[in-house]
Structure 1
């Protein structure tokens, strides 16, 4: 991707209370998934995508505040892909595909859909700058998506990446992600054995 590529905003400042309430002993982003912290998996995928990125890990009172702060830090970016840090299975190719939607100017706002379910990262073009900077509270960027989608500038992007909807909010979700990783590893091993 070029220097004019959108910047991935990795949101890592949430409190993770649901994870702790479900029996987690560490913060969900530090919980181990296949021997590596959840956040590290997310960062690895972002790095592999080749896109510019910014981690927002200062303590903010809500997701809206976190997004606004991250956008402030990257205000000169060509656009933004808002990616919660607890999506460790998102694929680099999906990040690239969402960035390409903005680069091709097919939409001002775009979101991935897996099996009909909305996921992350949500992509925002530069036209959304003022709206993103004004976000606050717990609602995140949903009001910005509604505004631009309501004006016909939003686009769902079908993807074959279950990682866009696999967020680690509970210990059970972590166990499911572990099972998905194991299944993917088994498929890769089988393809290797088959010579594919």
Structure 2
């Protein structure tokens, strides 16, 4: 697939979920049941429904930066990347498509919901080398900062509370159940 083929969604599924266990959860937060299905399955259904190319990065990397770099390496021929943590089970497929479309004219796309930054964060193809160099826990904050300074970042307001509804604790899981029931 060539770089003009469009962006790929990188689903990050390597985290240890320490806050989930500390809150009383058992096992992986990505396997915790939400409306009878694992959290990660909900996330992947939205990714599949988006129609975008995707890759799950679940090799157990040390930090988010390492996971992002590995996902970009696995899809390096993509025309950009949408970085989506696997613990966002309520994200909507149309939100993924909106971020992908905005990458056509911006270096970084930061999805926003009522003033809060969410996911997936989109990165244009020209960010490839910077993303491949990521390591550690910080993620891609330095890449985002560089794109902001170059005036290539877009804050994209979306009407999707799912972009900010991540599952880090048992109360987060309960909140997601309520939001899902209200859809």
- SS state at 1:65 partner: helix
Count, aligned residues: 180
User: Are 2:162 and 1:157 aligned?
Assistant: no
Please give the alpha-carbon distance, in whole angstroms, between the structure 2 residues aligned to 1:124 and 1:62: 19
Pairing 1:45-194 to 2, within 5 Å after superposition? 45-102=46-103, 105-184=104-183
Instruction: Give the TM-score of the pair, scaled to structure 1.
Output: 0.91
Cα distance in structure 2, aligned partners of 1:159 and 1:41: 19
Query: Any idea what SS the aligned residue of 2:55 has?
Result: strand
* Cα-Cα RMSD: 0.8
Gaps of 5+ in 2: none
Q: What are the ranges of 5 or more consecutive residues in structure 1 without an aligned counterpart?
A: 185-196
Partner residue of 1:13? 14
Name the CA distance, whole Å, in 1 between partners of 2:31 and 2:142: 30
Q: Distance in 2 between matches of 1:5 and 1:127?
A: 13
Separation in structure 2 between the aligned mates of residue 111 and residue 35 of structure 1, nearest angstrom: 31
Residues 1:38 and 2:39 aligned together? yes
Computing the radius of gyration from Cα coordinates, the structure with the larger value is 1
Query: SS of the residue aligned with 2:52?
Result: coil
- Deviation, structure 1 residue 26: 2.1
Post-superposition shift, 1:111?
A: 1.0
SS of the residue 1:58 aligns to:
coil
3-state secondary structure, aligned to 2:182: helix
Using the alignment, how far apart are the partners of 1:122 and 1:71 within structure 2? 13
Matched with 1:194 is none
Following superposition, the deviation at residue 52 of structure 1 comes to: 0.3
What's the secondary structure of 1:29's corresponding residue? helix
